[in-house]
Structure 1
């Protein structure tokens, strides 16, 4: 695994710092951020995703809340950059 730091929310306390890294080998993102609240998880489950897909969150997964200011750190292909709102 070859990780590369992408960004952190500026001016956050030393122990409260949403951060994003990318695995250069796979392109996967690793995201440290705020845990979704129980109400947020329930709302995600109520909205669902695709028909027939479970809304349960397995033990090896979680739902996080990524602050909008962090979107600027998510890599996008050149043709998709204009579609993503930046903050």
Structure 2
């Protein structure tokens, strides 16, 4: 796996670490974030969208990433763009 580390949210301290990687081989963003509150997760699961089943499928998760980490997500997208297969 060609996993490229992009960054860790510098404002979260030692106990928390929203993190961004780019998986070049699979052309995917890999994100580590905070678990949502039960209320937020329930709201996400209850949302009905065209072409999207209600609920959170097995193997998927809702995560929270702080807006201050957006530059890392953009950088990870740039890494993937540079390695388009």
TM-score (norm 2): 0.74
**1:7-62 Cα deviation digits (max 9, x unpaired):** 111142223111000001122011111011111112223433325x2121123111
5+ residue gaps, structure 1, are 78-87
Q: Is residue 2:12 matched to residue 1:18?
A: no
Within 2, Cα distance between the matches of 1:36 and 1:11?
18
Number of residue pairs aligned between Structure 1 and Structure 2 = 76
Q: Secondary structure at the match of 1:74?
A: helix
1:33 correspondence with 2:33: yes
User: Where does the alignment leave 5 or more consecutive residues of structure 2 unmatched?
Assistant: 79-85
Report the structure, 1 or 2, having the larger helix content.
Answer: 2
Shift of 1:71: 1.1
Structure 1 length-normalised TM: 0.73
Structure 1 residues 4-83: aligned runs within 5 Å: 4-51=4-51, 53-75=52-74, 76=77
Aligned residue for 2:70, secondary structure, equals helix
Name which structure has the greater RCO, CA cutoff 8 Å, separation 6+: 2
8 Å CA contact 2:46, 2:55 repeated in 1: no
